[in-house]
Amino acid sequence: MTAAPVVVSAFRNGILCRCPSCGRGPLFDGYLKVAARCSACGLALSHHDSGDGPAVFVVFIVGAVVVGAALVTEMQWSPPIWVHMILWVTLSVVLALALLQPFKGVLIALKFKHDAGQAWRELD
Ligand SMILES: [Zn+2]
């Protein structure tokens, strides 16, 4: 059995919110809190901070999707304003909550893969 390419593995581990090293243990302890250690391989995870990166990506993606969908809806059907309010506020919240965790997982996995920051070696 051949191993998957490292880049694919980093994205897979991130999207699945798994340990960036072994891909088995959960990355998060809760919704967005990074676990102290990987339960499978013991890698110290708690010092990994992806900063505002995931939120920025999610804001840009959700904003583009919601604004595009609102424009198309208005041009096609011209619903009352309360329909827009309910649809797009709900969609924004649901998409943001659904995308934050995998985006944070991918950024942490890519940080691990590219050895960004010496914290991995110094604090383990
Ligand atoms: Zn692990």
Confidence band for 3, pLDDT divided at 50, 70 and 90? low
Stronger pLDDT, 19 or 46, i.e. the higher one: 19
**Distance between Cα 38 and ligand 1 center (Å):** 5
- Give residues whose Cβ lies within 5 Å of ion ligand 1: 19, 21-22, 25, 38, 40-41, 43
Domain of 105? 6-123
DSSP string for residues in 28-54: BSSSSPBPSB-TTT--B-TT---TTHH
Q: Is residue 35's pLDDT more than 90?
A: yes
Checking if the pLDDT of 84 tops 60, the result is yes
Cα of 81 to ligand 1 centre, how many Å?
49
Tokens of 109: 């996995």
Any domain includes 1:
no
Query: 111 C-alpha vs ligand 1 centroid, how far in Å?
Result: 15
Number of domains in the chain: 1
90-116 per-position pLDDT tens digit: 999 999 999 999 999 999 998 888 877
